[in-house]
Amino acid sequence: MKVRDIAKKSVFSLEVFPPKKSYSPESISRIFDRLAALEPGFISVTYGAGGSNIQQNKTVELCRILKQDYHVEPVAHLTCFNSRKDEVLTMLELMKEQGIENILALRGDRSPDITPPGDFRYACELIDFIRSHTKEDEFDICAACYPEGHPECGSLKEDVLNLKHKVDAGVSLLISQLFFDNEDFYRFRELCDVAGIKVPIHAGIMPVTNKSQIERMVSTCGASLPKKLSRMMARYENNPQALMDAGISYATEQIVDLLASGVEGIHLYAMNRPKMAEKIKGNISSLLDARQ
């Protein structure tokens, strides 16, 4: 099923990542058993360990497991900045073989240890490439967006104009990077409306469960930390359970406000932590039911 159709019915989705060190089918099954039970509209799988090394990349394999064993629609991340065109074509063929219909097309992070081949510079080029090398309607393409602007872009307004180019290239759904102040998301959504971006925009929510991890993510994606959240992290950074509880509470508060404001979808960065995802889904279940 295409994401464009899922988005009309479901407003709750998840994101997971392939293991970076060791890959155990049993460990993945334990995670997927619990996440699938939450009945997400779809689960996106990040571009896995091994980067563009197709032999090591587990993204397509995990998508296949989700689709065939759990009957959950997967969205496969596909990055391009450090990939050659032939590698992207190979990944597309692998996806087609496994019946994967949805792609989250991304530029990918720059790495000081990797010299990019130069085949792709931006996600928009990847989207054009996918559209020109696949049959019409073979894949639904999603794209990322940045409520506070991409950190490499000069301004939020300029970033929204760049985003319009991605949407015009053939994007069905936008999924936002993490943010911690809903007002940033609402301002971004208004700018998208003015720019003529009409596809659904799902809000990406990442619960704070690890102070150093969040600070690292914030530094790479350009999100800001509200004072309220910074105080919470400083207070509980040495108490993992307290930080987990506080982070879940903060994320729940965000989601409640987003749903009340008519957000088109919530994309929870589950980080392969089913317990955290279960608690948040339990906190908002009645609100999701009210949206059906």
The count of C-alpha atoms lying within 13 angstroms of the C-alpha of 187, restricted to the half-sphere facing its C-beta, is: 11
How many C-beta neighbours within 10 Å does residue 66 have? 26
Measured between alpha carbons, how far is 181 from 190 in angstroms, rounded to an integer?
A: 15
Task: State how far the Cα of 86 lies from the Cα of 90, in Å rounded to an integer.
Answer: 6
Q: How far apart are the first and last CA of the chain?
A: 19
> Which residues have C-beta within 8 Å of that of residue 214, sequence separation ≥ 6?
206, 208, 225, 233
Site of tokens 């809903």: 182
Retrieve residue 104's tokens.
């989250």
> Is 15 in the active site?
yes
Catalytic pick from 15, 101, 125, 148? 15
The CB-side HSE value for 87 (13 A sphere, CA atoms) comes to 21
Containing 79, the helix (H) or strand (E) segment is strand 74-79
Contacts of 262 (CB under 8 A, 6+ apart): none
Residue 173 parent element (H or E): strand 173-176
SS3 content of the chain, % helix, strand, coil (to 5): 45, 15, 40
Residues annotated catalytic, as ranges: 15
